[in-house]
Amino acid sequence: MLDNFYQRMGPAPKWLAPFLHRRLLICLFTGFASGLPLFILYQLVPAWLRSEGVGLKEIGFFALVGIPYTWKFVWSPLMDRYAPSNMGRRRSWMLITQILMLASIGYLGFLNPKTQLSEIAILCAITAFLSASLDISIDAFRREILPDRELGLGNSIHVTTYRIASLIPGSLSLILADHYAWDLVFIITAAFLSLGILMVLFSDEPEVNSHRPLTLKAAITEPFQEFFGRHGVKSALWILSFMFLYKIGDSMATALSTPFYLDLGFSKTEIGLVAKHAALWPAIFGGIFGGILMLRIGINKALWLFGGAQIVSILGFALLAEIGHNLWVLALVIGFEYLGVGLGTAAFVAFIARTTSPAYTATQLALFTALTALPRTFANATTGIIVENMGWTNFYLFCTAIAVPGMLLLFKVAPWNEQTMDQEAASEKATSQSAIRQNQ
């Protein structure tokens, strides 16, 4: 169906042609499907709880429902080893998890935050488990359909739509909440998951020479042995430290962004409208520009440039905290945040994908992305306490400071003048193939 559509299209402009390849178009939907449930948990649920009178401390501790994101490597070997249906390993798990999330998110709004906070936390944790499981299959699916040269562009597209997905719970849902009951808001929000379900139904299982573990034990042990064997223990630990620290400042800074806007006196409609217009175009522009630039300069240089923009964007929140209720400043802060943080995330995700071996895609990606989720889960759980003790301005200055160590680790893991992305990809591919032959 998609192939016939491409044949009917005329020749595309040169700058647009790379984005119209089928596998890159699929990345549009993988990003949206992956981002939507997470932003529902980290944007819509806190706004709902705050509007219903729940305290900042309780909302801050709600970040702990994201623990499944940090532990998904535990069950990723199961998803790497078994396929629940004849649709294939990746598509089967993507379909099952999204259907179950459609039900869990849709039911959230029927609970009462004043009397059923524990039940809400449990249902959010279940949703986070399903979302983390979806990420396992989506990350492996995306890595397996993208050739090494397109990792930067493909992951940039994925991250762009991942960020755009936040406009549903962070904008549309907040506007609806000013006019309709929360149960209807959550049902409408959950309905957007159907886009990811359609993507699964109309796509094909990746045709790659991916190494499928013969036993569950092999699925658990081989990915770790390959990673440490390929890099060496010392270099591998530097890489893992970088993955942990690179996004920690950004994660903490955005953890309570919606309650922050509400505390400054912005209405839910103001937040929704400004977020829609100020975030959409910077996110799209950043994704396109970042993807094209990574094709030219490689992932290493992109990590330096985009990481610097990411740090500066955090300072925008401190500026807004000092100025207070000002729609223009809010628009500038949100716009630059989507641009800077979106660029940093695009390069970071491409780096993670490049670091994996094609032989053990799902489990290694689950391990790496789980490590990057640790700050979002455990550090973010303390953000409410930090804000109440330091105030909003000092909190965002603190977030800026703790983002610096991750940038410094670039000297070790991604030096500016190191070999190009294509050379690195070719080198890693050769090493991986050698490791696979040794294991076989």
pLDDT band at 12 (very low <50, low <70, confident <90, very high): low
| 356-376 per-position pLDDT tens digit | 877 778 888 888 887 887 776
Q: Where are the domains of the chain?
A: 17-439
| 90-127 per-position pLDDT tens digit | 899 999 999 999 999 999 989 988 888 889 999 999 99
b vs e for 110-136, b when ≥16 Cβ sit within 10 Å of the residue's Cβ?
ebebeeebeebbebbbbbbbbbbbbbb
Give me the mean pLDDT over the 389-415 stretch.
91
pLDDT at 427 over 60: no
Least confident of 7-11, 138-142, 181-185, 297-301: 7-11
What was the pLDDT predicted at 333?
87
- 293-297 CB contacts, 8 Å cutoff, 24+ apart: 294/152, 294/153, 294/156, 294/346, 294/347, 294/350, 294/421, 295/18, 295/149, 295/152, 295/153
Rounded alpha-carbon distances, angstroms, from residue 197 to 93, 100, 193, 402? 11, 11, 7, 38
Phi and psi of 318, rounded to 5°? -65, -40
pLDDT band at 405 (very low <50, low <70, confident <90, very high): very high
pLDDT at 211 over 70: no
What was the pLDDT predicted at 434?
42
Looking at the chain, the whole-number percentage of residues with pLDDT higher than 90 is 26
| 56-103 per-position pLDDT tens digit | 778 877 778 878 887 888 888 888 888 888 888 889 999 999 999 999
Cα–Cα dist 57/388, whole Å: 9
CATH of domain 17-439: 1.20.1250.20
Name the percent of the chain in helix, strand, coil, to the closest 5. Answer: 80, 0, 20
| 264-285 per-position pLDDT tens digit | 988 888 887 886 667 767 877 7
Cα–Cα dist 166/176, whole Å: 15
* Most confident by average pLDDT, 84-88, 193-197, 251-255, 371-375: 193-197
pLDDT band at 424 (very low <50, low <70, confident <90, very high): very low
Closest C-alpha to 357, from 80, 133, 160, 45: 80
Q: Which two tokens stand for residue 203?
A: 């796509």
Which has more pLDDT, 242 or 296?
242
H helix and E strand count, the chain: 25, 0
Closest C-alpha to 164, from 261, 284, 255, 252: 284
Q: Which residues contact 322 (CB under 8 A, 6 or more apart)?
A: 393
> Hey, is 21 helix, strand or coil?
coil
Which has more pLDDT, 323 or 21?
323
